Amino acid sequence: MGDVAFPLFGFGSFLMGTIVPFLFVLTVVVFVHEMGHYLVGRWCGIGVRAFSIGFGPELLGFTDRSGTRWKLSAIPLGGYVKFVGDVGATSKPDADALDDLSETERRAAFHLQPVWKRAATVFAGPFFNFLLTVAVFAVMFSVFGRFVAEPMVAEVRPDSPAAEAGIQPGDRFVSVDGVPIETFGDVQRIVSGRAGEALSFVLERDGRQITVTATPEPTEVEDALGNKIRIGVIGVVNNEALGQPRRIEYGPIEALAAGVEETWSIILRTGSFLKRLVLGREDRCQLGGPVKIADMAGKAADLGFVWLIQLVALLSAGIGILNLLPIPPLDGGHLLFYAMEAVLRRPVPEQVMEVVYRAGMLMVLVFMGFVFWNDLFGC
């Protein structure tokens, strides 16, 4: 009996080593996202019927004094807030239900609110995801600081893009593609996401500045979680003698500013990745779904809680960006309709919304199928 129970429930088991960390990461990210919708919606005077973590049948829950049903549902791959007047979990208007509402309920119905209140409530979900990412990095910078190195070239790999461009040991990076450089990590962040693109490098050499052009080449490397990833490299190496690695300590305000900066950097890199993916310049295997996230959560948990929290921050930013894509039923799709309503000064016709919702839902389902295929069979 004990021999069977230990591998099933031991820390290294699939249940405790992968599923539990995955559910922790996903639940935190989804809860924060939906809490953004809920809090701003309530602040705007909108009534909330349900707050659910997960989809499908309810596993457990309770109803608060305002009439909101808080529940945990069976399928833990997302969540939703159902406002007064919504039909289903996608926040589509229910015309019949709106007609049947009492006057008090109509004042609290989501789809009868001014467009700015609806837009603020919808935008709050992704925005809270970004706030979570900022908060995690701010705390980490405050507690652990940040290790940086001077942007110096200690070695140039033979036959590398850097060697072909004429970069030499002892050079100091000043800017890359117009972006000022302060640390060697700054160079790595820019170059890693721009494989195959010609970049302009301003270098300081012997007291003068020179400009060279190099094209990062895609290279497969293994990240800290053991995942095979493809990044751009130019073939330069930093070392302790020239890099002079040091730890930067942050006070609360400086840590918060660094957290905002890091979050913005993640948003820009993710946006660049998605653009390059659409243009066919990125390996589709870099895009993962729930299976890959579960695997990463398990590996992060093995490395320690700090790594797991970092994964929460990265996933939260990713979910925020994904939800802002202008595709119904994502938040960005709703915001697109509200922007059109604000410009036209009237709601988008219901027939048009229905067609776009159906097309958007099909796109989302195809995308989900694509990442599942990638996770299980494609890569």
**At 88, is the pLDDT very low, low, confident or very high (cuts 50, 70, 90)?**
low
Following DSSP, what letter does each residue of 86-155 receive, concatenated? Answer: EETTTTEE-HHHHHH--HHHHHH-GGGS-HHHHHHHHHHHHHHHHHHHHHHHHHHHHHH-EEE---B--E
pLDDT at 308: 95
Confidence band for 277, pLDDT divided at 50, 70 and 90: confident
pTM of the model: 0.86
pLDDT tens readout for residues 183-219: 999 999 999 989 999 999 999 999 999 999 999 999 9
Chain-centroid distance of CA 185 in Å reads 21
Q: Pick the range with the lowest mean pLDDT from 68-77, 179-188, 220-229, 345-354.
A: 220-229
pLDDT higher than threshold 70 for residue 96: no
- Mean model confidence pLDDT for the chain: 89
Q: What is the mean pLDDT of residues 24-30?
A: 95
Name the catalytic one among 34, 103, 222, 249. Answer: 34
Residue pLDDT, tens place only, 114-124: 999 999 999 99
What angle do the packed helices 350-373 and 331-344 form, to 10 degrees?
160
Q: Which of 283, 318, 319, 292 is nearest to 375 (CA)?
A: 292
Q: What is the pLDDT of residue 228?
A: 81
Domain boundaries, the chain: 147-248
Which position has the higher pLDDT, 98 or 68?
68
Where does 147-248 sit in CATH, by number?
2.30.42.10
Active site residue 220: no
263 within 8 A of 137, measured Cβ to Cβ: yes
229-263 pLDDT, tens per residue? Answer: 889 999 999 999 988 999 999 999 999 999 999 99
Q: Average pLDDT in the 61-88 region?
A: 90
Whole-number pLDDT of residue 17? 75
What does the DSSP 8-state code read for residue 285? G
